């Protein structure tokens, strides 16, 4: 993980990716959405204008995680232009932090103003059981490299970006009202990213709770940091797939995570649709 990101190479790759998209379409997304485990189907609900497999984007990482397709889908949620990363890449797949955040940066370069992250997570409070939806109010990065490490990409953002309010208050209000409209109880909490891929031990979960976290997962924080660096407004929702290790007698498994994600998908999709539809220019 200590590799030095070469700024020139990274910007060149990002520009090559942007050019590859631009050869296909002049679509300018407003919202950049990354779909977590089990949510890939949401991309099919868009009024699509283009679909670009990650293989066609130079230097673009390929998703190997279960339930992640590996496609950039461009289209509309009502009249809001959205770029969907159908399938995300994780640090645990062996990608460098710069590779993990390359898709988010590309969408910023294509004109996105809002980054909306979704993920599956383990709940660390008794009321955060399988199937709950939790809106992120803040995050903690734990043993995960900062994606901005290395020479700063000045074209995208400043060297020392502020992280006082990563998860935008206005977007949180939109999410809350979309949840109310759908009769969804939207929990709130702090998400902690660990590197994975092993799940946590019960002792680690006690440590993370002491650090102030409510839910634990293996994504999102590095992406949110890169998105803030690039000046995007950010919001994120976790689908709680399980109680974290030690909080229930059951062992954790990827199958359980996907099953919970699939079960929660209809509610999650309704929340996504109605909140994104409200993320118009003037809000």
Nearer to ligand HPA, 38 or 81 (CB): 38
Give the residue, chosen from 42, 54, 116, 199, that forms a contact with ligand HPA under the rule CB under 6 A.
199
**Token pair belonging to 115:** 């980054």
Interaction between residue 186 and ligand HPA (CB under 6 A): no
Contact 192, 254 (CB under 8 A): no
Q: Which residue has the tokens 């220019």?
A: 281
C-beta of 221: minimal distance to ligand HPA in Å?
A: 12
Interaction between residue 91 and ligand HPA (CB under 6 A): no
Nearer to ligand HPA, 118 or 242 (CB): 242
Cite the DSSP H helix spans in 128-253. 169-181, 202-210, 221-229
C-beta of 167: minimal distance to ligand HPA in Å?
A: 19
Interaction between residue 167 and ligand HPA (CB under 6 A): no
Contact 226, 186 (CB under 8 A): no
Ramachandran area for residue 70 (φ above 0: left; ψ -120 to 50: alpha; else beta) = left
Task: Please identify, among the stretches 88-96, 131-139, 179-187, 238-246, the one whose residues bind ligand HPA according to the rule CB under 6 A.
Answer: 238-246
Interaction between residue 214 and ligand HPA (CB under 6 A): no
User: Dihedral, CA atoms, 28, 34, 39, 42, nearest 10 degrees?
Assistant: -10
CA-based Rg of the chain, rounded to a whole angstrom? 18
- Number of alpha helices (DSSP H) and beta strands (DSSP E) in the chain: 6, 9
Interaction between residue 128 and ligand HPA (CB under 6 A): no
Fill in the per-residue mask, 217 to 236: x = in contact with ligand HPA (CB under 6 A), - = not in contact. xx------------------
Q: Which residues bind ligand HPA (CB under 6 A)?
A: 120-122, 199-200, 216-218, 241-242, 244, 252, 257
């Amino acid at each position: 993980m200590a590799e030095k990101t070469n700024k020139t190479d990274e910007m060149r790759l990002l520009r090559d990716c942007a050019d590859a998209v631009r050869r296909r379409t002049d679509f300018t997304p407003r919202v950049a959405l990354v779909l977590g485990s089990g949510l890939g189907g949401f991309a099919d609900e868009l009024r699509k204008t283009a679909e670009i497999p990650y293989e066609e984007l130079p230097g673009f990482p390929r998703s190997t995680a279960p339930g992640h397709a590996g496609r950039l889908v461009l289209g509309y949620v009502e009249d809001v232009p959205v770029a969907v990363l159908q399938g995300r890449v994780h640090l645990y797949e062996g990608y460098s932090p710069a590779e993990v955040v390359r898709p988010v940066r590309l969408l910023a370069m294509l004109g996105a103003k809002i980054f909306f992250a979704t993920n599956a997570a383990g709940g660390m409070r008794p009321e955060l059981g399988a199937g709950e939806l939790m809106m992120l109010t803040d995050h903690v990065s734990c043993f995960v490299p900062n994606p901005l490490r290395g020479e700063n990409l000045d074209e995208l953002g400043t060297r020392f970006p502020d992280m006082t309010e990563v998860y935008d208050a206005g977007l949180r209000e939109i999410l809350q009202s979309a949840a109310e409209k759908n009769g969804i109880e939207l929990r709130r909490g702090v998400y902690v990213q660990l590197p994975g891929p092993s799940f946590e031990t019960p002792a680690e979960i006690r440590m993370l709770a002491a650090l102030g976290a409510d839910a634990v997962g293996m994504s999102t924080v590095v992406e949110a940091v890169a998105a803030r660096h690039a000046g995007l407004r950010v919001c994120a929702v976790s689908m709680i797939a399980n109680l974290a290790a030690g909080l229930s007698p059951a062992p954790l498994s990827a199958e359980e995570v996907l099953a919970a994600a699939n079960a929660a998908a209809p509610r999650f999709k309704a929340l996504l649709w109605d909140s994104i539809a409200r993320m118009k220019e003037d809000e």
